[in-house]
Amino acid sequence: MIYYTMITPNQFTSGEAVQLDDNQALITHTTGEALGIVMTSVSPDEGSTWQTKIYAAGGGGVSALLGDTWDGQPSRFVFAGGRVVPTTTRGDGWLIPSMPIVSKVAGDSVSVGIYK
């Protein structure tokens, strides 16, 4: 698993996709290339800075927030609006089914692996 930690002025939500803006600041993903998925965002100094751990690729994956309905079957995903959305072509990684396979709706937490 590849992940790294960035010091940020804001707290991020675990499971949300993030990207760098034009000034290289971490923001919630909107469009374009996602940097990864937030694993944790904790403040060692009571809120003035945050240590944000970001999953970038590989390994067994992490939990992410779903942006659309998913039938629960193995599927590729793309990043859209800070969330992962099932797709039938290309994609940024895989949605990993739970057992037994169950459908999920937008806002649910799902397991994903980023493999480009």
Q: Of 57, 73, 90, at which residue does a domain stop?
A: 57
Q: How far apart are CA 79 and CA 65, in angstroms?
A: 10
Hey, is 101 helix, strand or coil? coil
| Whole-number pLDDT of residue 7 | 92
Q: Which amino acid, 103?
A: S
In this structure, the answer to whether residues 75 and 106 fall within a common structural domain is yes
| Whole-number pLDDT of residue 65 | 96
Contact 82, 17 (CB under 8 A): yes
In this structure, the answer to whether residues 49 and 67 fall within a common structural domain is no
Of 80-84, 89-93, 102-106, the least confident:
89-93
Does the global pTM surpass 0.75?
Answer: yes
Q: Of 21, 36, 57, at which residue does a domain stop?
A: 57
In tens, the pLDDT along 9-51 reads 999 999 999 999 999 999 999 988 899 999 999 998 777 899 9
| Whole-number pLDDT of residue 105 | 97
Question: Which candidate, 10, 15, 59, places its Cα nearest to that of 34?
Answer: 15
Helix (H) or strand (E) holding 97: none
In this structure, the answer to whether residues 103 and 68 fall within a common structural domain is yes
In this structure, the answer to whether residues 40 and 66 fall within a common structural domain is no
In this structure, the answer to whether residues 49 and 75 fall within a common structural domain is no
Q: Of 57, 80, 102, at which residue does a domain stop?
A: 57
Q: How far apart are CA 87 and CA 100, in angstroms?
A: 21
In this structure, the answer to whether residues 44 and 10 fall within a common structural domain is yes
Q: How far apart are CA 74 and CA 105, in angstroms?
A: 15
In this structure, the answer to whether residues 9 and 46 fall within a common structural domain is yes
Domain range for 13? 2-57
